[in-house]
Structure 1
Amino acid sequence: MRSYAFLALALALVPSVASAGLASAFDFSGTLNPSFDAGHSGPLAHLNGGNNPTAVGSSIFSNETVGAVSKQVLNFAKGDTLFALHGIGSNDAHANGGAYVNNYTILMDVKFDGQSANTYSSLFNTSATNGNDGDSFLLWSSGNAADVGIQGSYGGSFNPTDWHRLAIAVDIFPDGTELSYYVDGTQVHQRIDRPGGQPTDGRFALYSYNDNDAASDGVFILGDEDGDNGSGQISMLAFFDSTLTSGEVQALGVAGDAVPEPASMAALGLGALALLRRQRKA
């Protein structure tokens, strides 16, 4: 009976992670190159500044304990941004003819330095040049507490000066956008900006690798045009080509946990089948 339970668990994990569609991941092990690339990603560009930021002199990595894992992380200063070729193609789950990325999830393991109350730390910016306000922020209430959200809708107070796994799942409709925010696998806030919100291919859509504009095929992580961002460290960054469900985000764990690649999850399923066959023959 236990073998059947194990098989059920393993096979349940496979479609969940496979449907998540990991497009790229970066683990900052002394490099800005992707640790996983489904085929359309590339190295991160470490930049500083507002509109049209310029390259930093050199990226500084250090060793940290993230959750229960000792690993290298990237240090970022106030004003820094990471331009990421996320590797997601045009998509639109609501069949409205979207030319850009209208369904996606951004995951990051990040720790911020504390900021004063009523200040902001951007999480990402969809502008082609980092020339607009960021598109999701931390809003600090004290030196070690902040809410997460956008456009006056914030919630889910937590301590960003500790390591946390943040996930932002974006679902863009013809009449607006839903943004779901997670901390360590738990949904802490949701902004439903519809009807009457930013529609398909609007503010929250990402430029895609196949939008015929190679200069704008990414997103600015931590970016903001006028300094509403903070300093800190980042140890994992990943992009998924769908709006992850709460169960899928929960399955991705907490800061320091490995982000499973699709091939590894498929192998888990095959291994479970093989184990069951062996046990049934025994």
Structure 2
Amino acid sequence: MLQGHVFVAAPDVPQDVRSLVAACGGRVVASLEASVTLGLVVRGGAARLDCAAQLRGLRIPILRSSWVRASAAAGRLLPMKHPHAEHDPALFESLRFTTTMFPGDARERVVAAIQFFGGTYSPDLSSATDILLYGEWGRTAGDAAEKTARSLKWRCAWEWAIPRVHVAWLQECISTGQRCALPQFSSTTALPAPPPPAAAAAAAAAAASNWDEDASSCGSAHEAAGKKRASFSPIQRQKRPRIDAADSACGARKPTVSHVSLSQLCERVLEG
């Protein structure tokens, strides 16, 4: 079952788990080598794996010992996801993102974080978009064309019931290693006021910081992530028809997001 898999294990991984890996055809090593395919730790024990940062940079999953036990009990390899994953490099796999209300440098860093964790980014909103990720609501920087693009993106996402998610959601997913719940609302939902701009900026910095900590640990992985960055062009005309009956004031509605203080975000990053 584990044939071909080589685990680099933290010192505190129990001997019975190591024996189980061997019995299932896998191999356990004590230090990072070229053949390593997975990291292995006890729950919350990534800090005790000396090469954890290198594994993250190489986009190699770090699994908990519970994954080995559960897979052996099931007689098959279980998904390398929460709650058995300490680090999931494919956290945003199959999700298609676009962004709005970010200054250029913050947007590039957030896009790189999305792509580093397996997500897909497009500068344009379309019917295939899964998530519109927004930063600082009410940002006024940019020329008239850029402001129009931001307004149109938000309006179309609202009309098509595409989730509009604050960047704090991205940071929370990366910090916890799992996809957090998306807000559930439709084009008829009334939306309350957004968080203060400082919270938005802090969340963007936190998400980018978490990505930097992982990517910078391996130059080749960082370079690969950089090569995948998409270009940022203004929103283009979409093939999907707009909903003509929508209230013309919908573009002025505000996004839903829980209040996140700067201190809370900093604590999450430091804990991660």
TM-score bracket, normalised by the shorter chain, equals: under 0.3
Q: TM-score with structure 2 length normalisation?
A: 0.24
Q: TM-score with structure 1 length normalisation?
A: 0.24
Structure having the higher Rg = 2
Structure of greater relative contact order (alpha carbons < 8 Å, 6+ residues apart): 1
Structure whose residues are more often helix by fraction: 2
Structure whose residues are more often strand by fraction: 1
